Amino acid sequence: MLKRIQETDDFVLDWIGRLHTPVLNKLMIIFSLLGSKGAVWIVICIPFLLQEETMVTGVNFIVAVGLTTAVGEGIIKHAVGRIRPCHKLEYSDLLTRRPGYYSFPSGHTASSFSVFAVAFFRCNTRTWVGILLLAILIGFSRIYLRVHYLTDVICGLFLGILCGSVSVVIMNRLILSMLTKGY
Segment 90-116, tens digit of pLDDT: 655 667 776 778 889 999 999 999 999
Q: How many angstroms separate the CA atoms of 155 and 176, rounded?
A: 31
What average pLDDT score do residues 37-56 get? Answer: 91
Query: Cβ distance 43 to 168 under 8 Å?
Result: no
pTM exceeds 0.75 for this model: yes
Q: Which residue would you say has higher pLDDT here, 84 or 150?
A: 150
Domain at 57-177, CATH from 3.40.50.720, 1.20.144.10, 2.40.37.10, 3.30.210.10 = 1.20.144.10
Share above pLDDT 70 across residues of the chain, in percent, rounded to a whole number: 95
Q: What SS3 class is residue 105?
A: coil
Q: How many angstroms separate the CA atoms of 122 and 18, rounded?
A: 39
Residues ≥6 apart with Cβ < 8 Å to 169 = none
Could you tell me which of 164, 138, 147, 41 has the C-alpha nearest to residue 104? 147
Segment 120-138, tens digit of pLDDT: 999 999 999 999 999 999 9
Of the pLDDT bands very low, low, confident and very high (cuts 50, 70, 90), residue 181 is: confident
Residues ≥6 apart with Cβ < 8 Å to 4 = none
Q: How many angstroms separate the CA atoms of 161 and 159, rounded?
A: 6
Provide the H-helix boundaries in 18-124. 22-35, 39-50, 55-71, 77-80, 107-122
Q: Where are the domains of the chain?
A: 57-177
